[in-house]
Chain A
Amino acid sequence: MTENAIITAHGLRKSFGRKEVLHGLDFEIPAGRIYGLVGHNGAGKTTTLNAILGLTDCEGTIRVLGEDPFARRAQLMENVAFISDVASLPRFLRVRELFALISNIHPNFSQEKARDFLTGTDIRMDAKIKHLSKGMIAQLHLAVVMAIDAKLLVLDEPTLGLDISYRKRFYRRLLEDYMTEERTLLITTHQVDEIEFMLSDIMFIRDGELILHMQMETVNEKFSQLVVTDPAKAERARGLRPVFEETRFGQTVLIFDGVDRAELTQLGQVSTPNVSDLFVALMQRPTANPSAA
């Protein structure tokens, strides 16, 4: 285990009945990073997060801040905060009462900070949670978790159902007021384009397996996207074994893994694929036999 790893997992497996949903994941997440965990619905993202948060017992080993999250969940939660996509705040409480409640149960929660984070929003301290809009509840939730002095913050689809300006503000807040070198962020989202540049590392999970776990910098060096208009050049490009190919608007778009960019530049326009293009490319089966477009 690396000295500064926040999370380490070895052979992490989980079955529900006879169906295995995690097939032995191995990964390590160091401190100070912003991790994106991306996968289809049902790929095993939430199960992985639940294992990290000690909400589910798994085979294999998992350590969060050096502890077994399932066995030592209560202690661990002092240093871990999370927003789950199904999380709900107690609707019958007022904001003020919520803050008082959390400061009673969470030793690292600061009511003052939480109140500070609400400045600039329309959320009043005496408002009942059930009267808040969806966007306001998300803001409240974010204010609560940012006011917890945690080493690890896990965000499971934190912006689901929010409009774009709320989403932008949400991430802006996170980077401006929360992120430091001592903190680690683990985010899952389907709107990965929005956070792509925020991430230091990315993990793709497909059918219970990690198919990509890489620093974003390495992703940018390793993968290239090539757009070709000339069919003869497209044919030559195919010879370089793309991992993905599709036809868009009369152009052939190919994605390569570890092919020299200088070589590709002679065939067409080369760029770095964005995370969602890469996701589409890697999440389906490699194109050993490219389908006729």
Chain B
Amino acid sequence: MDDFHTGQPIFVQIRQRLIEMILQRAVGEGDALPSVRQISADLSVNPLTVTKAFEALVDLGVVEKRRGLGMFVKQGARPLLLAHEREKFLTEEWPRIAAQIAALDLDVEQLLSEARTPETKGTQND
């Protein structure tokens, strides 16, 4: 599982994995997230790094610490995260992708229809 890439700090990569877990509903709102110790052991990562990833999610208001019990996904976390991730995609990734599409002279309509046909990904409806 320790397939980190070198482009981003490890805590950011762990934070992203936690975000994905919540977005994909692997962990539901109100449910407990894996403990710092467990993630640390699973990924062979320093516990402080894992704590930092959690802290970032606490700051976003999507996770809360319950004393003695661990970290929990807050109610309403999913729509909040979805908005946050969309915003991040549109400001950070999309301009670069759009520029590359233009640079490679690709047809956006065709790309979209090709992406849709083989297996239709679940549409977001919340």
- CB within 8 Å for A197 and B44 given contacts A176-B38, A271-B6: yes
Chain A residues whose C-beta falls within 8 Å of the C-beta of B49 in the assembled complex = 197, 200
A172 in contact with B6 given A34-B46, A198-B46 (CB within 8 Å): no
Render A192-222 as a binary contact track against B, CB cut-off 8 A, 1 for contact. 0011011110000000000000001100100
Interface status of B41 (Cβ within 8 A of chain A): yes
**CB under 8 Å from chain A, chain B span 20-46:** 37-38, 40-46
The reply to whether A171 and B44 contact each other, CB–CB distance below 8 Å, is yes
What CA separation (Å) do A290 and B93 show in the bound complex?
37
Q: Is A127 an interface residue (CB 8 A)?
A: no
A175 and B37 in contact, given A194-B44, A195-B44, A197-B49 (Cβ under 8 angstroms): yes
- Complex contact A175–B40 (CB within 8 A): yes
B45 partner residues in chain A, CB cutoff 8 A:
197-198
Q: At the interface, yes or no: B126 with Cβ under 8 Å from chain A?
A: no
Tell me the nearest residue of chain B to A217, going by C-beta: B9
Rounded to whole Å, the gap between the CB of A233 and the closest CB of chain B is 18
**Minimal Cβ-Cβ distance residue in A for B13:** A197
Fill in one digit per residue for A179-193: 1 if any B CB lies within 8 Å of its CB, else 0: 100000000000000
**Chain B interface residue count: which class?**
10 to 19
Instruction: Write the chain A residue with the least CB distance to B45.
Output: A197
B2 within 8 A of partner (CB): yes
Instruction: Report Cα–Cα, A273/B41, bound state, in Å.
Output: 23
Looking at A34, A176, A225, which has the most chain B CB atoms within 10 Å of its CB? A176
User: Are B4 and A197 closer than 8 Å at their CB atoms?
Assistant: yes
Known: A175-B37, A176-B38. A197 touches B43 (CB 8 A): yes
B118 on the A face (CB < 8 A): no
Q: Is the CB of B46 within 8 A of A168?
A: no
Decide if A61 is an interface residue (CB 8 Å cutoff).
no
The answer to whether A197 and B46 touch across the interface, beta carbons within 8 angstroms, is yes
Chain A residue with the shortest CB-CB distance to B47 = A179
The reply to whether B9 and A175 form a contact with Cβ atoms under 8 Å apart is no
B98 interfacial by beta-carbon distance below 8 Å: no
Q: A171-B44, A197-B2, A198-B45 are in contact. Are A271 and B38 (CB under 8 A)?
A: no
- Is B10 in the interface zone, CB < 8 Å from A? yes
User: In the complex the two chains form, is A176's CB within 8 Å of B37's CB?
Assistant: yes
Residue in chain B with minimal CB distance to A270: B7
Contact A271 B46, beta carbon cutoff 8 Å = no
Question: Does A108 make an interface contact (CB < 8 A)?
Answer: no
CB distance A200 to B41 under 8 Å? no
**A172, B9: Cα distance in complex, Å:** 21
In the assembled complex, A274 has its CB within 8 A of some CB on chain B: yes
| A34 to B40 CA separation, bound complex (whole angstroms) | 12
Binding site for B on A (CB under 8 A): 32, 34, 168, 171-173, 175-176, 179, 194-195, 197-200, 216-217, 220, 225, 271-274
Q: Which 8 A-B pairs have the closest CB atoms?
A: A176-B41, A271-B6, A175-B41, A197-B45, A175-B40, A172-B41, A200-B46, A272-B6
16 CB < 8 A contacts A-B = A171-B44, A172-B44, A175-B40, A175-B41, A176-B38, A194-B44, A195-B44, A197-B2, A197-B4, A197-B44, A198-B44, A198-B46, A220-B9, A225-B6, A271-B5, A271-B7
Q: Which residues of B contact A (CB under 8 A)?
A: 2, 4-7, 9-10, 37-38, 40-49
